[in-house]
Structure 1
C-alpha cells in the first residue's frame, strides 16, 4: 500500500464474535503503538500509520457459556466478545491470547476463561462495565478503544417464521426455525455517548463480518446507533460473510443479508459491500456442508439495486477454519476511505 499524504483516518468497526476480532487484527497494524509518534512507519509494522483512532463497538447480548454464567451470577454484561477484541488489539497478542483464552478445566471455575474473570473483577472494582473495559484496555496497551454497544442489561428476542417468540441468544441460535425479526428487550436500550461520538467523527465505518442476527443486527437495535450510521458522512462498508450460517442465514444471498440488515436499521447505512467472489477449495465446501453451511451467493446486481456498491475480490483465508483474510480486508476498506 502506498503512503498517502499523512492522511489519517478515524475508524469504527461494529460487530461481535470472531468476525470482529479477526478484522481488528488487520486494522490495528495501521495504528501507532501506544506512546509513540503516530506517523512513524516502524510503529505500524513497517506500513503507513493510516489510522488515527480505532474504535470497536461490540455486541453484549451473549447468554451462553462462561459469559452467560457471569451475566446471571453477577448481573453484569457478558464479557466474551469484548475479551476477544481486547486480545486482538493488544500489543502482546500471543501471550495474552493464551492467558485470556485459558479456560479452567475443573472446580468451581470450570468453563470460565481467565479473560472473562478479569473483566468481571474490574467491573466489581470500578462498578461499571464500560469503565472496566477502558481500564483493561489501558493495562493491555490496546491499539484502539472498545465500547459495548449498550450498557443496558439487554436480552434478545426473535420472532420466528412460525409466529413463535424465542428469547435469549443461545435459544435463538439453537432454534431450527428461521428468524423473521430480531428485537431487543428493553427496546429503549441506549448506547454509550462515546460510541455515538465515534460514529459521528468517523471517516470509515465497518459492519461485519459476523453472525447476521446475533453479532451484527443486534448492534442496530440499540437506540440511536442506526440513526447515527444513517447520518454519518463516513465511508460505510458492510463486510459480507463467506458462508451462510445454519439457523441465522441459511440460503440467504449476499444481497438478502444486506436487506435484512437495512430492514432492521430502518435506514440506508451502507455505501459499499465487500463480497468474496473467489472459489473456495472443494475440501472447505465439503467440511462446512456437514454443518449445513454453503458459500454465500454474490448477487452483485441485486446489491447495486439496494444502493450499495459491491467491492469484489478474494477475501478468504482457508486454514483449519475458514476466515476472512484480515490483512487484505483491512487494506481494501482503508483504501476505499482514502479514495473518498
Structure 2
C-alpha cells in the first residue's frame, strides 16, 4: 500500500494548525496555499518588488520544517524592525524568486533549507487581487480590507477572473487520497483557492475524500455571525456543490453573540452597535481597528437543526470538542488528528514523535 497522499487547502494560521495535526501521521503532505494576501510585510513586498505573496507560504514552510523549533525555522519567522518589520522568511523568498525568476524555485530552496517533511504549492503564480461584496451591497478591494470589515461578506472573486492554476497544485489534488479545507478564514484563506479555475476543476474530478474543517470562532468581520451551515453554503456558492464528503464541526459549550439565518446580513450599523457604539461618521479603517480591540471571539453556532441540514448535503458530519484552553480559535491538534483519521479513506499510520513548533 502506498503512503497516503494528503492535501491541505487554505492559508493563514488555520492551515498551519491543520499541518500540526497532520504531522501526527506518515503521509505525503502538500499544502496548497491561497495567493491573494496583500497586507503587512507581504503587501509591501508585492508593492515594492512585484513579489508573489510570500507570507502564508513562509508559515507553511516553517510548519512543515523537520524541526519547527530550530533556530533556522524561528529565524524565518523573525520580524526585522530595521527592515520595515518584514519577516526574514518573506525577504528570503522574495529575493530568491527575484534572483531565480521563479517563485517555485524559491520555495524548493527553502524546503531544502528547512528539511521540510512536505511540500508547499501556491494555488496560482499569477498576480491576483481579491475583491468582495458585503451582505449590505458594498464592494471591498483587497484581501487585507476584506478580512477586517466592515460587514459580513456575501461572495468574493479574483481579478483577473481566471488566473492560471499552478500545475503542481493540480497534480497534488488529482493524486490525493485525502483533501482537507480549513480551518481558517472562510473568504480570505479558503475560498480564494477555489476561485482559480483549474483548482476548482481538479477538486470536482478528484477521487480523493474531501473534508471541510469548520472554524471554531468568528474572529474577523468577513464571516461575522455566520453559523456552521452557512459556512458550508458559502463553499457551495463558490463552486463546491457536491464536492464535500465530510464536515468536522466544533461542539460549543455555550452560544454567545449574534448569528445570521440564511445569509442575512449584519450591516455596519449593527456591527458597530454590537461592538460598543461607534459613530456612523467614523471611517472604515478606524472602525476596523477600534472595533477589533472590543469584540470578543464568537463561537460558530452549531445546533441539532444545523447538523441535520448539513447531513442532507454531506455524507459524513462529525461534531467534536476541539477545545484548547485559553485559545478559542485554535483546534487541539491531537483531537483534530484523531477526527481526521476517522474520516480518512485510507489508514493513517501514526508517527512515534511529533514536533509542533510554536503556535
Q: TM-score, normalised by structure 2?
A: 0.81
In structure 2, list runs of 5 or more residues that go unmatched: 257-291, 348-359
In structure 1, list runs of 5 or more residues that go unmatched: 1-5, 31-48, 283-287
Q: Residue 156 of structure 1 contacts residue 182 of structure 1 at CA under 8 Å; is this kept in 2?
A: yes
Partner of 1:46: none
Instruction: Please report how far the alpha carbon of residue 99 of structure 1 lies from its aligned counterpart in structure 2 after TM superposition.
Output: 0.8
Residue 11 of structure 2 corresponds to residue 16 of structure 1:
yes
Aligned positions, number: 308
Partner of 1:221: 195
Does the residue aligned with 2:221 lie in a helix, a strand or coil?
A: coil
Structure 1 stretch displaced more, 301-310 or 69-78: 301-310
Cα deviations by residue, 1:175-232 (Å, 9 ceiling, x for unpaired):
3122122000001112111111111111100000000100011110011212211212
Q: Residue 250 of structure 2 contacts residue 321 of structure 2 at CA under 8 Å; is this kept in 1?
A: yes
Residue 151 of structure 2 corresponds to residue 177 of structure 1:
yes
Q: Supply the distance in 2 between the matched residues of 1:256 and 1:308 (Cα, whole angstroms).
A: 17
Partner of 1:69: 44
Cα deviations by residue, 1:115-149 (Å, 9 ceiling, x for unpaired):
11111121122111122112211221101010011
Does the residue aligned with 1:236 lie in a helix, a strand or coil?
A: strand
Residue 301 of structure 2 corresponds to residue 297 of structure 1:
yes
Q: Supply the distance in 2 between the matched residues of 1:320 and 1:260 (Cα, whole angstroms).
A: 25
Instruction: Please report how far the alpha carbon of residue 290 of structure 1 lies from its aligned counterpart in structure 2 after TM superposition.
Output: 4.3
CA-based RMSD: 2.1
Identify if the C-alpha distance between structure 1 residues 146 and 173 changes in structure 2 by more than 3 Å, giving closer, same or farther: same
Does the residue aligned with 2:94 lie in a helix, a strand or coil?
A: helix
Structure scoring higher RCO (CA < 8 A, sep ≥ 6) equals 2
Identify if the C-alpha distance between structure 1 residues 174 and 337 changes in structure 2 by more than 3 Å, giving closer, same or farther: closer
Identify if the C-alpha distance between structure 1 residues 136 and 158 changes in structure 2 by more than 3 Å, giving closer, same or farther: same
Q: Supply the distance in 2 between the matched residues of 1:150 and 1:79 (Cα, whole angstroms).
A: 12
Q: Supply the distance in 1 between the matched residues of 2:224 and 2:293 (Cα, whole angstroms).
A: 11
Q: Residue 216 of structure 2 contacts residue 328 of structure 2 at CA under 8 Å; is this kept in 1?
A: no
Cα deviations by residue, 1:48-98 (Å, 9 ceiling, x for unpaired):
x3x1x1111001111111010001111011111110000000012112442
1:232 to 206, 224, 231: 206
Does the residue aligned with 1:317 lie in a helix, a strand or coil?
A: coil
Q: Supply the distance in 1 between the matched residues of 2:244 and 2:134 (Cα, whole angstroms).
A: 26
Cα deviations by residue, 1:225-277 (Å, 9 ceiling, x for unpaired):
12211212111100010012331111111111000011102532210001111
Moved >6 Å (runs of 4+): none
Does the residue aligned with 1:274 lie in a helix, a strand or coil?
A: strand
Q: Supply the distance in 1 between the matched residues of 2:50 and 2:156 (Cα, whole angstroms).
A: 23
Q: Supply the distance in 1 between the matched residues of 2:129 and 2:17 (Cα, whole angstroms).
A: 25
Q: TM-score, normalised by structure 1?
A: 0.85
Residue 81 of structure 2 corresponds to residue 86 of structure 1:
no
Q: Supply the distance in 1 between the matched residues of 2:213 and 2:344 (Cα, whole angstroms).
A: 14
Partner of 1:315: 322
Instruction: Please report how far the alpha carbon of residue 280 of structure 1 lies from its aligned counterpart in structure 2 after TM superposition.
Output: 6.7
Does the residue aligned with 1:93 lie in a helix, a strand or coil?
A: coil
Residue 170 of structure 2 corresponds to residue 199 of structure 1:
no
Partner of 2:344: 337
Q: Supply the distance in 2 between the matched residues of 1:167 and 1:83 (Cα, whole angstroms).
A: 24
Partner of 2:136: 162
Instruction: Please report how far the alpha carbon of residue 166 of structure 1 lies from its aligned counterpart in structure 2 after TM superposition.
Output: 1.3
Structure 1 stretch displaced more, 171-180 or 68-77: 171-180
